[in-house]
């Protein structure tokens, strides 16, 4: 059923998506032409690491706290995890461009997985990434990958995100960019969004991954769009991007990506 839902969602997206020629807002026009439509520049060492993970047949304990955790085997190969959960390279490049374009320095990622996307988020100068992972064994692989790439600007926060995110936002650190790719349920996604709203400011950027994966995720994305502080959103099918600048007219666009 999930496959059928994704197919229908993509057809709807394909019919609605527009390019820069249909955008009247200067903000969204610049977003499209200067960020979204830019040809990606892949990070060669990270892509080599991605391919290694895709081939790695070693199995690790699997204690994922996210959607469907009780239905999954107790151990899985690293290659299976990589194929299932890593963000596509072109979208990791997009997230890095967003961070650079909007001059974000404090970055939060919910759902580290094996750390490839995290490493892309950490590439921009002056960035500090705080990444949250609920599965201990997966976090250990990600931490090893960070060390291998000699990245000193990544802090991995391990444990149940329901608990660790609440503790993090309680510290009051202002967040410039947040990427949500953790528990793909309506309850969890909305709860994490509400936590992040307490530390995100008017110039922050929020990315929600897999917004069309299930009906629950579409409902979660709709809740983000309807929030009173959200001024503009862009639906790229794979993900949704939300902006909070008060001067923007309230608008929601579906963009070709």
> Sheet harboring 200-209: ordered strands across?
154-158, 128-133, 106-110, 175-180, 200-209, 239-243, 232-235, 251-254
Q: In this structure, is residue 112 part of a structural domain?
A: yes
pLDDT for 70 beyond 70: no
Residue 173 forms part of a structural domain = yes
State the pLDDT confidence band at 72, using cuts at 50, 70 and 90.
low
- What is the CATH classification number for the domain harbouring 226? 3.40.50.150
Separation between Cα atoms, residue 194 and residue 188, nearest integer Å:
10
Average pLDDT, integer, range 9-36: 94
Beta strands 200-209; 175-180: pairing state: parallel
pLDDT tens readout for residues 185-201: 999 999 999 999 999 99
- pLDDT for residue 3: 79
What pTM value is reported for the model? 0.94
Q: Quick one: pLDDT at residue 75? A: 87
The answer to whether position 208 is within a domain reads yes
Instruction: Give the pLDDT score at 2.
Output: 72
Give strand ranges (E) for 53-212. Answer: 59-61, 75-77, 106-110, 128-133, 154-158, 175-180, 200-209
Contacts of 59 (CB under 8 A, 6+ apart): 75, 76, 77, 78
User: What is the domain range of residue 222?
Assistant: 2-42+87-254
- pLDDT value at position 68? 47
Per-residue confidence (pLDDT) for residue 1, from 0 to 100: 55
The reply to whether 58 falls in a domain is: no
Residue 16 lies in a domain: yes
Residue 64 lies in a domain: no
Mean pLDDT score, 213-218:
96
In a domain, 178, yes or no: yes
- Residue 66: the pLDDT is 56
Q: Tell me what percent of the chain is helix, strand and coil, each rounded to the nearest 5.
A: 45, 20, 35
In a domain, residue 80? The reply is no
Contact 119, 107 (CB under 8 A): no
Query: For residue 82, what pLDDT band results from cuts at 50, 70 and 90?
Result: very high
- pLDDT beyond 50 at 225: yes
Residue 64 pLDDT grade (very low, low, confident, very high; cuts 50, 70, 90): low
Please report the pLDDT score of residue 74 as a whole number.
77
Cα atoms found within 13 Å of the Cα of residue 181, Cβ hemisphere only: 26
pLDDT digits (tens, 9 = 90+) for 145-200: 999 999 999 999 999 999 999 999 999 999 999 999 999 999 999 999 999 999 99
The tokens for 133 are: 């992972």
Average of per-residue pLDDT across 227-245: 98
Structurally, how many domains does the chain consist of? 1
């Amino acid at each position: 059923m999930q496959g059928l839902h994704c197919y229908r969602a993509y057809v709807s997206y394909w019919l609605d998506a527009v390019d820069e020629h249909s955008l009247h807002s200067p903000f969204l026009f610049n977003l499209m032409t200067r960020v979204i439509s830019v040809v990606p520049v892949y990070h060669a060492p990270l892509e080599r690491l991605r391919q290694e993970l895709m081939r790695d047949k070693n199995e690790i304990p699997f204690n994922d706290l996210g959607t469907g955790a009780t239905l999954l085997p107790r151990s899985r190969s690293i290659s299976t995890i990589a194929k299932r959960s890593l963000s596509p390279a072109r979208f990791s490049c997009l997230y890095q461009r967003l961070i650079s374009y909007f001059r974000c320095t404090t970055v939060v990622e919910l759902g580290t997985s094996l750390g490839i996307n995290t490493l892309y988020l950490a590439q921009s100068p002056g960035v500090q990434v705080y990444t949250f992972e609920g599965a201990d064994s997966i976090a250990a692989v990600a931490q090893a990958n960070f060390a291998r790439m000699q990245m000193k600007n990544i802090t991995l926060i391990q444990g149940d995100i329901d608990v660790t995110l609440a503790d993090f936002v309680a510290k009051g650190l202002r967040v410039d960019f947040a990427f949500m790719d953790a528990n793909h349920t309506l309850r969890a996604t909305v709860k994490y969004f509400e936590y992040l709203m307490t530390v995100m400011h008017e110039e922050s950027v929020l990315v929600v991954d897999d917004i069309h994966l299930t009906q629950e995720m579409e409902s979660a994305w709709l809740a983000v769009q309807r929030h009173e502080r959200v001024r503009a959103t862009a639906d790229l099918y794979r993900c949704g991007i939300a902006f909070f600048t008060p001067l923007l007219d309230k608008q929601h666009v579906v963009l070709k990506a």
